[in-house]
Chain A
Amino acid sequence: MTVGPGRARGSLERERRQAYWLVAPAVLVLAAVALYPILAAVWLSLHRFILVFGERRFVGLGNYAYLLGDARFWSALGNTAYFTVVAVGVELLLAVPLALLLQRAFPGRGLLRAAVLVPWAIPTVVSARLWAWMFNPDYGLINRLLLGSDINWLGAPGYALHAAILVDVWKTTPFVALLVLAGLQGIPEDLYKAARVDGASPWRTFRSITLPLLKPALLLAVLFRSLDAFRVFDAIYVLTEGGPANTTETLSIYAYKTLMRSGDFGYGSTLSVATFLCVVVLAAVWLRLLGRQEEAR
């Protein structure tokens, strides 16, 4: 925007200077808590650095070379990717009908809207604990409901990661539904009216009007959620700590264990930098898709 035409150039200059002063603290904070640490992590990742013994020496790209041959890293990457894809996919599948429901006028809509936010507001750690109790093989609600089942949800490879996914779905579907709902509300009512006049079936209306116009909102939801799911830590740490047999170990868990359990800050930093790079790549891909979407419009 521009200031009134009567104002002199100097005033504009002053405004600019004040603007810098106003944003400076925020910039400083961001630099201190994000920019510097990420650069420092890269620097640390070039060292063998055993915190406990103060062992610290430069090893160049040695840690990265080891990383490429580290089967545990690749399996953690695979687990993380699987977790992200399945969790976000299921969340979308649940969120779209939920958003459509929330858009309708029916008695108790306010209640439902408030109710779906409850899982979102509960701390992840608490929801993980809550589900851990429900997953308890002997006394948990789930095995009680599946009469006679003695599935060891959190202890058996094959089940544990899916149990973690369920916890994530429970917690974050509401957020996705809200994003979708905001998208739905942006679709002009006239289009639906026209479709009704043409006698289109509800499914057709959904397929040819709602879904295409919802695409930007869906893509955005996928962007946010996949980046969030990719760094999953809390839920898995509480549910399984990465076990059994590392089948639920995600990149964040592996990096955390290496850093804080073993105190290996060198290789641990390498793992965290690798996680960061994965997120960057993921974000770049999504932003690109999103950009293409914008252009198409």
Chain B
Amino acid sequence: MRQRAGLGTALAVVAFLTFFLGPFFWQVLTSLWPDGELTRSWPSHLTLESYVSVLWGRPFLRVVLNSLVVAALTTVFCLVIGSAAAFALAKLEFRGKGLLLSAALAVSMFPPIATVSPLYLILRAVGLRDSLVGLALPYATFAMPLTLWVLTSFFRQLPDELYRAARVDGCTPFQAFRRVLLPLAAPGLATTAILVFIFAWNEFLFALTFLTTPEKRTVPVAISLFASEYREPWGEIAAASVVATLPLVVLTVLFQRRIVSGLTAGAVKE
């Protein structure tokens, strides 16, 4: 009985691992497959050619850099603004608190397509169309609600006594936030930063719409347009995908616990 359960578990583990990791490994294999042999059932040897041509034959590193800039800008922007608000939401009394949290939740459910045309017109009007900075702003649509929810739940977990003690010591609410609670919320900030970073790195619709110059493309846009610019170079697409994904995979595996707690904090703790 025990053994059968063990076998069942093992089979289930193998099945899930195959389903979730198999396609990724196939992609890695494709990226190492010699270009002329993709039509064969098995490669005769493995090669790094696709990586060489992606990294040196195309402006792909530039594209990775663009994504880093946009994702980092979004992260910093949302954390700076969001942490203050999250602190107030968790520890201070004021009217409209529930409304703000529900509003944030509602915004996070906005289909991006609903706001894309006005945002396009706004960015064009202020001259931020086709700019990486201009892209970080609309990213707040999904990043800000995420920041507010995750961070608010983190601040709530910090004991009220800390805040009260700081106030008794003569801190203003803002000082209490900056000097006492913010440093303690660092793990929460890190979690939020990772999540926002990943979401911003992966965003596609806004990047596709607001950026026009090829040199400004972000990773998802560049990868989506790969085939159309050249002759469906599957090996290179795979290599570019691996390059673009590896940082995320490493980040995810390293911070797995944090990501899980962050993803579920906003959702389940309420």
Q: Report if A and B touch in the complex (beta carbons < 8 A).
A: yes
Chain A residues packing against B (C-beta within 8 Å): 1-4, 12, 14-16, 18-23, 25-27, 29-30, 32-34, 36-38, 40-41, 44, 97-98, 101, 104, 106, 108, 112-131, 133-134, 136, 138-139, 141, 144, 170, 173-175, 178-179, 181-183, 186, 217, 220, 224, 227, 230-231, 233-234, 237-238, 251-252, 255-256, 259-260, 265, 268-269, 272-273, 275-276, 279, 283
* B: number of interface residues (CB 8 Å): 94
Q: In whole Å, how far is B53's beta carbon from the nearest beta carbon of chain A? A: 17
Q: B29-67 CB contact bits vs A (8 Å, 1 = yes)?
A: 010000000110100000000000000000000000000
Q: In whole Å, how far is B121's beta carbon from the nearest beta carbon of chain A? A: 7
User: Can you name 7 A-B pairs with beta carbons within 8 Å?
Assistant: A16-B92, A23-B89, A117-B252, A117-B256, A124-B220, A182-B264, A233-B205
Chain A residue at smallest Cβ distance from B270: A220
Decide yes or no whether B209 CB sits under 8 A from chain A. yes
Across-interface contacts of A113 in B (CB, < 8 A): 256, 260
Decide yes or no whether B198 CB sits under 8 A from chain A. yes
Chain B residue at smallest Cβ distance from A122: B245
Across-interface contacts of B89 in A (CB, < 8 A): 23
Contact A116 B220 (CB under 8 A): no
A131-B23, A276-B114 given as contacts; is B119 within 8 A of A33 (CB)?
A: yes
Across-interface contacts of B188 in A (CB, < 8 A): none
A25-B85, A34-B107, A252-B111 given as contacts; is B118 within 8 A of A124 (CB)?
A: no
Across-interface contacts of A234 in B (CB, < 8 A): 204-205, 220
Across-interface contacts of B249 in A (CB, < 8 A): 118, 121-122
Across-interface contacts of A26 in B (CB, < 8 A): 81-82, 84-85, 100, 144, 148
Contact A220 B267 (CB under 8 A): yes
Q: B208-238 CB contact bits vs A (8 Å, 1 = yes)?
A: 1100000000011101101000000010011
Across-interface contacts of B177 in A (CB, < 8 A): 22
